[in-house]
Structure 1
Amino acid sequence: MDASVEPSPRYGQFSAVDGRHYMWRGYGPGRGSNIIAVYDPSTELWSLLPTTGPLPPGEAVGCSVCVGRCLYTFGGSDESSYFNDMSKLDLDTLQWTKVQTSGSQPMKKTGCGLVRVNERTLCCFGGFGIEGTTQPGSTFTKIGYSDGRGWTNKFHFLDTQNGVWSSPELRGERPPCSNFTFTMVDQHRAVLFGGWQSGRSRVNDVYLFNFSTMEVTKVKPVQGEPWPVERSGHAACCLNYGQDHPQLLVYGGLDNGNKPLGDMWILDVDTVQWTEVTPPESMTPRHYHSITATSLGPGLTEVLVFGGLRERLGDHAIAETTILRFEMRLLAEVRHPNLVQFIGAVFDQSPPLIITELLDMNLRQAYEENQLDPGNRLSIFMDIALALNYLHQRYNPIIHRDVSAPNVLLQRMPNHQLKGKVSDLGSANFLQHAHTMGEGAIIYSPPEVIPQAFDPLTPPLRQSVKIDVYSYGIVLCEVTASRFPSAEHYRDMILQVQRQRPAVYELILHCTKREPSHRPSMAQVMVELNKIAPF
């Protein structure tokens, strides 16, 4: 990326995407400029391009969306005024025009949302500003300013072909008023998350808009389930628009203590289940930043993160560009409740940084810190077996090749039990391409792997899923004995398990037989586990 043409630091900027990422205005050195920044995924470069025509009056915290080869922008504010102008930028000529509108005009406001419902219809919702016309079912809450400023949860539709605003009936509970995210996820649905309520508190409810039925459904946080904290000033995008199980990515914002957030979450829109993921270290806590997403081909989505504020107020605007790529095919193809979910990768560093869901601890940490409750070991053994059986039973079986206690992560469930999830599929190969290359710790490796691990010139041996079965047997011994399975201590450990848990001892011996064909399948392992009493 050519750093000489990167956009200047800013926050509260306008942004949109149509295959390329567009960004302009915002508070910072470039405010009031006619320059639009364009990031092209094919060249991985920014361009700073001058626009012509009457510039939109709003400088920051407005909203925008692309429709065809036009970019529409609405509202926003400067240091003293709010606006309700709708402007349009021709993306071929880079010329602005003011859209002449009529009908039920939205009020002058900032912090609102704008989505494209279809090729001719936009929906504008909520915001903070100067009271306008009344709307049945909506509220406007003044907050003491002499000019009547306040919060609204009104919504309006704009027909871009004739410029007419309208306010059709919307059934259901209206969402919060301002500084939320409002994102289309398919041709009929949008998701609104977080934002300010009129009572000056931030929220973390999810609202599902269905524009086919004109209904909105509120989903409250579920106690004990992973869920983001209350926030406003965050950013969001859809990772796989219009596909099965659309995913909403949410990052950053301000919490109710006015602290900038640096967490990242993905919402499965169909199930309304959240997964917390680990962002790159370069993505520091921030708010009033922008996120845009575009498809790079079947199953691959590129996300661009730019700008924002590191502090609640002040001149701490960010000028960093972060590119994330999300492999949605892997998200869809390798999904199991006992596998750590692969989310995506950051490709602007070497090696690429893998992004996965965020969990509490690994299995080795759990037994070393006495975190395993009675009965929990056996349930975790079953969790690992279920995950490996899923990988092995696929049409194209996958060998994990690095099964170990540190690669089993644990999630604390509402009943306080720990759920095991197998992680680090980075060494995994599809069976048809699999050969022994020495991945994983030697102590977990079966005999058929050892020669090639020590001597790279040894011809690689054909692998089978029984490599994972052997490693699984070593994990059984390690966790049952609560000791690291070093070569010098392994014999003592296996004798300890024989004395304390004879049934587990027999299963370990079966899993770690020298001849791969003599080892059980993971399906057979699960049958044996069901015969063992919890411990």
Structure 2
Amino acid sequence: MDPAFERHCSELVARERSGHTAVVLDSLLYVWGGYMSIGDEEVFIPRDEIWVYDLEGGRWQVFHMTGDVPPSMSGTCGCCLNENMYIFGGCDDSGQTNQMFCVDLTDGKYVWKKILPLLGSAPSPRDKLSCWVYDGKIIYFGGYGHKVLADISNRNRNFILDEPSWVENLFWGWNNEVHIFDPVQRCWTEPQTHGRPPAPRAAHASTALGSRGYIFGGRVVETRTNDIHCLDFESWTWTEIVPLSSSPVGRSWHTLTAVSETSFFLFGGLSNDCKPMSDGWLFDTETKKWREFEHPYKNKPRLWHTACSSKDSDVVVFGGSCDYILLVDSGHCNDALVFQIEPHPLFRICEDYIAKNVRTLERLRNQLPCLPPKVLQAVQRRIAFYRPSKKQNNSQNPV
């Protein structure tokens, strides 16, 4: 790579945004879509760009996308399966959609493909839904969108009307439907679930642990809930989990992230009293107890952000808003917050120590060539991560 271009890339930072999609694959964070505010206008992020952040080296790059490029939109549901990023639903300039697209994240070409099902029908148009990946399939739940009157009449238990929102034969509202997409067969199915399902909702959060999918919170009408529900992917049975401890307050536009085989991490969101939240919580599915998690980002509330699991149980939060976006929509963010949930392994501790101190300790710097090649390469990426920022350089060398 040309050195001048490499320096340019090192100073790149992804645009601020909310309602975007983000996934992690091989220590790289991929970010697409969402919207930002310019003056009094809400502007979608360009649809033909994908931002890639090296979680170990601390550098952003942006790439041009081609192919069947999706519309610019927010509120789409994204996930990573077989090294492809899939997106479904979302809201564009024409309203909610039920289109699906995928892009290979490994070939460096970033060519979008629009997926047309061979069997079954896609769910009705919706946004602010969630999904789980299990057994090579994508399982979608909930969201806010529109249906024709006939579908509402037949399935009113799965759909709550947003009373003021209707146009001719289309009615908007919240649903609690479960839909499965099989990328290999390119087919949609709707399983027969058992047990008592969660109430319809949108802007909730979900994560998967083993063969179970969990959801927490979300909004329906004017209520933001704090309930936990679990869906068993083998028996398709819903179970509500009643915590044996005090619980986080009800919220929407928050995130859940699996951090172990039995626990997940909750961060941020918008509370019932419309307060942007910055609290973090851990839930243990075995003890059924919540524990508030202390972290250094208490002054950084976030809602409609993304959160991805990284190596060593770290959670990477990107973007989102620090405002109540339905009233004040100017606080979109573009920083990445890394939450260390568990103690790091010894190799990671040593790697970070070297990276943080190599510039000031000459002896340490002189011993770097003694490291095995693969270890040296890993350490050099971490050194790049801890490099002084442009802002720090300017403060140390004022003009």
Q: Equivalent of 1:213, from 235, 238, 249?
A: 235
Does 1:109 pair with 2:120?
no
Determine the C-alpha separation between the residues in 1 that align with 2:202 and 2:13.
30
Determine the C-alpha separation between the residues in 2 that align with 1:47 and 1:162.
34
Deviations 1:261-315 (A, max 9, x none): 11000111222211101221375112111111122xxxx2232111111111212
Hey, what does 1:162 align to over in structure 2?
A: 185
User: What runs of 5+ residues in structure 1 fail to find an aligned partner?
Assistant: 331-345, 352-535
Determine the C-alpha separation between the residues in 2 that align with 1:327 and 1:321.
18
Deviations 1:161-220 (A, max 9, x none): 12111111111222241111111122x1111011013x4201001111110111111123
Residue pairs, 1:128-277, within 5 angstroms: 128-131=144-147, 133=151, 138-143=157-162, 144-147=164-167, 148-176=171-199, 177-186=201-210, 188-197=211-220, 199-222=221-244, 225-240=245-260, 243=261, 246-277=262-293
Does 1:23 pair with 2:3?
no
Hey, what does 1:37 align to over in structure 2?
A: 51
Q: CA deviation at 1:325?
A: 3.0
Hey, what does 2:102 align to over in structure 1?
A: 88
Determine the C-alpha separation between the residues in 1 that align with 2:85 and 2:189.
21
Relative to structure 1, the CA distance from residue 312 to residue 326 in structure 2 (aligned partners, 3 Å threshold; closer, same or farther) is same
**Structure 1 contact 57–83 (Cα < 8 Å) conserved:** no
| Paired letter, 1:323 | V
Does 1:99 pair with 2:119?
no
Any idea what SS the aligned residue of 2:338 has? strand
Determine the C-alpha separation between the residues in 1 that align with 2:139 and 2:299.
31
Relative to structure 1, the CA distance from residue 283 to residue 216 in structure 2 (aligned partners, 3 Å threshold; closer, same or farther) is farther
Equivalenced residue count is 322
Q: CA deviation at 1:79?
A: 4.5
Residue pairs, 1:276-355, within 5 angstroms: 276-281=292-297, 284-295=300-311, 300-313=312-325, 314-327=329-342
| Paired letter, 1:15 | A
Relative to structure 1, the CA distance from residue 329 to residue 172 in structure 2 (aligned partners, 3 Å threshold; closer, same or farther) is farther
Hey, what does 2:348 align to over in structure 1?
A: none
Any idea what SS the aligned residue of 1:192 has? strand
Hey, what does 1:12 align to over in structure 2?
A: 19
TM-score (norm 1): 0.57
Determine the C-alpha separation between the residues in 2 that align with 1:97 and 1:60.
19
Hey, what does 1:470 align to over in structure 2?
A: none
Determine the C-alpha separation between the residues in 1 that align with 2:69 and 2:88.
12
**Structure 2 contact 98–125 (Cα < 8 Å) conserved:** yes
| Paired letter, 1:318 | C
**Structure 2 contact 256–264 (Cα < 8 Å) conserved:** yes
Deviations 1:360-382 (A, max 9, x none): xxxxxxxxxxxxxxxxxxxxxxx
Q: CA deviation at 1:43?
A: 2.1
**Structure 1 contact 24–36 (Cα < 8 Å) conserved:** yes
Q: CA deviation at 1:142?
A: 1.7
Hey, what does 1:372 align to over in structure 2?
A: none
Q: CA deviation at 1:226?
A: 2.8
Hey, what does 1:47 align to over in structure 2?
A: 61
Deviations 1:10-47 (A, max 9, x none): 01111122232211111116613311111223323222
Relative to structure 1, the CA distance from residue 329 to residue 281 in structure 2 (aligned partners, 3 Å threshold; closer, same or farther) is closer
Any idea what SS the aligned residue of 2:91 has? coil
| Paired letter, 2:331 | H
Determine the C-alpha separation between the residues in 1 that align with 2:207 and 2:48.
26
Determine the C-alpha separation between the residues in 2 that align with 1:249 and 1:270.
14
Any idea what SS the aligned residue of 1:103 has? coil
Q: CA deviation at 1:138?
A: 4.4
Deviations 1:431-457 (A, max 9, x none): xxxxxxxxxxxxxxxxxxxxxxxxxxx
TM-score (norm 2): 0.75
| Paired letter, 1:164 | C
Determine the C-alpha separation between the residues in 1 that align with 2:242 and 2:279.
19
Hey, what does 1:125 align to over in structure 2?
A: 141
Determine the C-alpha separation between the residues in 1 that align with 2:183 and 2:209.
21
Determine the C-alpha separation between the residues in 2 that align with 1:5 and 1:30.
19
Any idea what SS the aligned residue of 1:128 has? strand
Q: CA deviation at 1:221?
A: 4.7
Determine the C-alpha separation between the residues in 1 that align with 2:93 and 2:116.
25
Q: CA deviation at 1:52?
A: 1.1
Hey, what does 2:377 align to over in structure 1?
A: none
**Structure 1 contact 58–83 (Cα < 8 Å) conserved:** no
| Paired letter, 2:125 | K
Q: Which has the higher contact order (CA 8 A, sep 6+)?
A: 2
Q: CA deviation at 1:227?
A: 1.2
**Structure 2 contact 44–72 (Cα < 8 Å) conserved:** no
Any idea what SS the aligned residue of 1:87 has? strand
Q: CA deviation at 1:256?
A: 0.8
Q: CA deviation at 1:350?
A: 7.9
Q: CA deviation at 1:136?
A: 5.9
